[in-house]
Structures are given as C-alpha cells and as structure tokens.
Amino acid sequence: MASLFNNALQQLDKAYEHLKVSKDVKEILGSPKEAIHFWIPVRMDNGELQTFEAFRIHYNDHLGPTKGGIRFSPAVCLDEVEALSFWMMIKCALVDIPFGGAKGGVVVDTKQLSQAEIERVSRGFVRGAAGFMGPDRDIPAPDMYTNAKIMLWMSDEYNTIRGKYKPAFITGKPVALGGSLGRDSATARGGFFCIRELMKLKNKTPEKTKVAVQGFGNAGSHLAIMLHEAGYTVTAISDSSGGVHCEEGLDPKHLLSIKKKEKKPLKSLASHAPNARAITNEQLLELKVDILCPAAMENQITKENAGKIKAQIIVELANGPTTPNADEILEKKGVLIVPDVLANAGGVTVSYFEWVQNREGYYWDEDMIDRRLDKIITKAFHRTNDVMKEKGVTMRTAAFLTSVKRVASAIDAKGLI
C-alpha cells in the first residue's frame, strides 16, 4: 500500500508550485517536529501481561499547541500517524483556529478486548505519554475506535498523574464531565455545511441530488441522517462489512437503529428497506450519484478505481481517502473534490470550542455551538473556493495554499536560532 505520509507530502508539493516559501519553511514542514514511540504493558483479564505499541506525534506547533485524535486500530503505524498529524496541521490552519497538528494511536484490535482491558490500554497510553501532552502543549481527542468513554478514562488518568483537575487536557469527553454539546455530530455537520454551500453555488436543490456515503461510523452515519432529513436522496450507505443500495432512497436513521438493536452488519439489512440490495464498498464508490462521501478509511479512491467513479462531486469526510494518482485522474474528469482538511474540519473546530469552554469554566448551549461552527466552516469553504478560482487549482490545492501560507508566516516571523 502506498505511504500515506508520502501522499500528504505530494499534496504539499502541489501547493509549493503556486506559493513562494523559504527553504527554511520547506525544511520544517517536510517532517514532524517530535514524536514518541512506546509500548503499553497491560494486565489482561486472564492474568497474562500483553504489550501494545503506541505513538504520539507533534507535527508543528507554530500556530499554537498541537491538537489531534488518538486511534485504536490494528492498522496503526508510524507512517499513518505522521500523515494524520500533518493533515491536522493543515486543517487547523485552514479554519483559523490556534492549534498545530498532532496525532496518536495504539496498535490494538478493541473488538478482541473486554471493556476493562480497553480501559487499561487507555490509561496506559496516558501514563506513557503524559509528559508529551497537556492543555498548553498537546490536546488529544477521539478518533477511529475511540470514544467519549475512552476520553474520560484518559482524562481521569491525566488528572491523577498531575494531582489537579485539568479538563482542557483532552476533548471529546462526555458532556456531563466537561465535554461540549454538539461534539458527536460535529465532523458530519461541518461536512454538511460544505455541501449546503456548494449546492448554493451550483444552484442545485437537495430534492434533485443523490448521495452515497461510504462509512457508517460516527461521521458517516450522522452525515447520512442529516442529508436525508434535509431532503437529499441517500441512495447508498455502507460500513466495513458492505452496504445497502436503493435508487429510491434509504432512511439512514431507521437502518442505524436496526443495526444497533440487532447488532448485525449493514449489508445484511437490505431486507429492511424496500427495493434495496446488498452491495460491496467498492460497488458503492462506483454508483451513479451526484455526491459521493467517503467517510471510512484512507486510500479508498485510487488510480485503480478513480476512472470508474461516476459522481461529479466528492466530499471527503474520511482522512486521506483519495490518493494523489486518483486526484489527477478525477481532476481530468472534471470531478470536484471538497478535501478532507476542509470537509471534516468540523470535528476539530468543536474540539477547539470544548477546550475554550474547559479553560473558561463556562459552557455554551448547542445553538451557540452550531452557529459558531457554521460561521467558521462556511467562511473557510468560501475562502478556499475563492482561492481555487483565483489560482485555477483544485480545491485541495487551494486549501493547502491557504494553510501553508498561514503556517509559513508564523515560521518566518518566529525565526530560528
């Protein structure tokens, strides 16, 4: 599989073609600032000791303390975490929030662990990285296969180590314990705002727009439900097992409730939707729809299948779902891609809101959260769209131009000793 970090650097090189930056900036942005690589010893329920490999990377902190999620997955590796921390830097700069980029991960399959074992891994991660993180240095958050409960365990462990209550250490916590309203749906809501603004620019209505969503986790399921409730025809959705397709449209909220209740893979639920059929994730990507939303894993749209994509608009809710080679093919086909660093920036934006609320000890209602998120994402979308038109580049390159320019200004202003 292609290196995710190399993919990220290729995207950066595209921006350099249209932006003059110093050699110092290129040198600094070409690699992370710092990283830790450690192992977490965990006493399993059967009494045996098992170690789990873990990473935390700070990519760049010129705009503020670093920010980024922690994922638990068997596929976690240094290359992946480097790429994700880089994209977090780009994302935060793009929406103009005072954070740099970071990411972390543990090589673990949580499906094979009990809740008690997951808690021990979570607390072990904080014990191993506590000196590398903190509310003024590096603020973690949930990511793939981590959630509010895991953030709570990590927060509690950090508070125990420091001997103080530090809710701003981590975001994505339960609302009752310092979390922000609107955080669960924030990533999807940011993507929804991008789609809304794009439809205005193209003079299209939801009722005449067909959408396919690959990925039915937190972001994908929330987005599918939002689109359905706004009048879009969601013709296909999928999870890791496969998906369901119906030309007349699906009710994602109904399918999600059945999936949770019956604890079955999504592909087995076609019988719960009239005229629906089971499909693979690969088939979903190639459906004839107006908007395709990859909201699952990275490297889903590649040079092998890019030529078969029929959607004219791709909105990337996942991180890195489209490879650079696929980007080139889709650009030649005239496909507009709303890039991940913009489309999924709602999550880190509301994480920023949570951090601010924790530090102030004053909490906002959900209406205020949504209004402030809307303002930030809408502004970032139109700023990126304007740069795209002005420079004659893709929206991804336009997003990178905006972000890199901002980070480069901070690097040059700070200077090096």
403, 20 contact by CB (below 8 A): no
Q: DSSP string spanning 200-260?
A: HHTT--GGG-EEEEE--SHHHHHHHHHHHHTT-EEEEEEETTEEEE-TT---HHHHHHHHH
SS3 165: coil
What single DSSP character describes residue 179? P
Residue 326 token pair: 């696929």
Residue with tokens 């998120």: 373
Residue 25, sorted as left (phi over 0), alpha (psi -120 to 50) or beta, turns out to be alpha
Active-site residue (options: 14, 67, 91, 103):
103
Query: From CA 150, how far away is CA 121, in angstroms rounded?
Result: 9
What's the Cα-to-Cα distance from 29 to each of 14, 33, 394, rounded to whole Å? 14, 9, 21
Burial 200-214 (b: 16+ CB within 10 A, else e): eeeeeebeebbbbbb
What's the Cα-to-Cα distance from 297 to each of 152, 155, 215, 409, rounded to whole Å? 25, 27, 8, 32
Query: From CA 196, how far away is CA 201, in angstroms rounded?
Result: 9
Residue 415 token pair: 């200077």
Query: From CA 338, how far away is CA 344, in angstroms rounded?
Result: 10
Residue 353: CA atoms inside 13 Å, Cβ hemisphere, count?
Answer: 29
Residue with tokens 């603004």: 197
Residue 47 token pair: 């009494």
103 assigned to active site: yes
User: φ and ψ at 269, to 5 degrees?
Assistant: -100, 10
- Residues contacting residue 315 through CB under 8 Å, at least 6 positions apart: 191, 194, 195, 198, 291, 292, 293, 337, 338, 343
Q: Which residues are identified as catalytic?
A: 103
